[in-house]
Amino acid sequence: MASDKSLAEALGFSWDRSVVQREVPVHSVERALWRFRRMLPEYVWDAAVLEGNPFTYPEVQTLMDGVTVGGHKISDERQVLNLAEAAQKLHALVKDEEFLLEKAISDRLHVLIARDEALESGHFRGEGRETLTPGVSLGGYGRYLPPPTEPGGANLRELHAGGLAAITGLIDEPFEQAVAYFLFGALSPFYFDGNKRTSRYMMNGHLMAHGIDAISVPAARRQEFNTAMVGFFRFREGTEMFTFLDSCRLDEG
């Protein structure tokens, strides 16, 4: 199909669109937000575990209640708190009907998520002083080299705008749009660090804004997620990740 080819050219990867879930339950935005709010500690813990953070689920709950937890590095504590603050901001953006699948929102979330980890958080690579191009480690498969960091960042802004236009113009279903955006943001990647986290938050904002439950990758499936992502980076083929993220959706209830 011509649209599939155009998507692959704009996003840098392809997937078998015939296997993408087309019957994702859609409810009200209020219901999606309520379920997200109810699972917030679990969502934050899952996101932290994917980053190798050693905080346990009860410790994340305690920290989110405003009580410090001893025995951990300050950097690990800050990561959890940043993920929690960004999740609360995401909830507010969707609730106030301010969430859009756009660069400005991604930048606002990224500065919260990665402000203590990424170089020049809150804007794309090249928009600040730094011009290095960080690779993505694939373990025994070497490193994935993303689009270069160029002074001013115009190349990445153009790439992002073209990808967004393809996602919103050539894909009809919000679920497929959201997952495609996550994979696009991870593969590009637009920031020096925190790309997968930021792209997952953007994915979930888009889902909730359409009345679809947010997706959290369970901590117990961290290895499965990482293995699938390595395959995605190696072959630039996203079918496995679409299937995996669909399997992570909340059960109806």
Domain 2-247 sits in CATH at 1.10.3290.10
d(CA 106, CA 120): 14
pLDDT band with cut points at 50, 70 and 90 for residue 22: confident
pLDDT in tens, 185-242: 999 999 999 999 999 999 999 999 999 999 999 999 999 999 999 999 999 999 999 9
pLDDT at 2 over 70: no
The more confident residue out of 253 and 2 is: 2
Residues 141-176 as b or e (16 or more Cβ within 10 Å = b): eeebebbebeeebebbbebbeebbebbeebbebbbb
pLDDT for 116 equals 87
Ordered by start, the domain boundaries in the chain are: 2-247
pLDDT band with cut points at 50, 70 and 90 for residue 251: low
Structure-block tokens of residue 44? 């934050």
> Is residue 236 within 8 Å of residue 204, measured between CB atoms?
no
pLDDT at 252 over 70: no
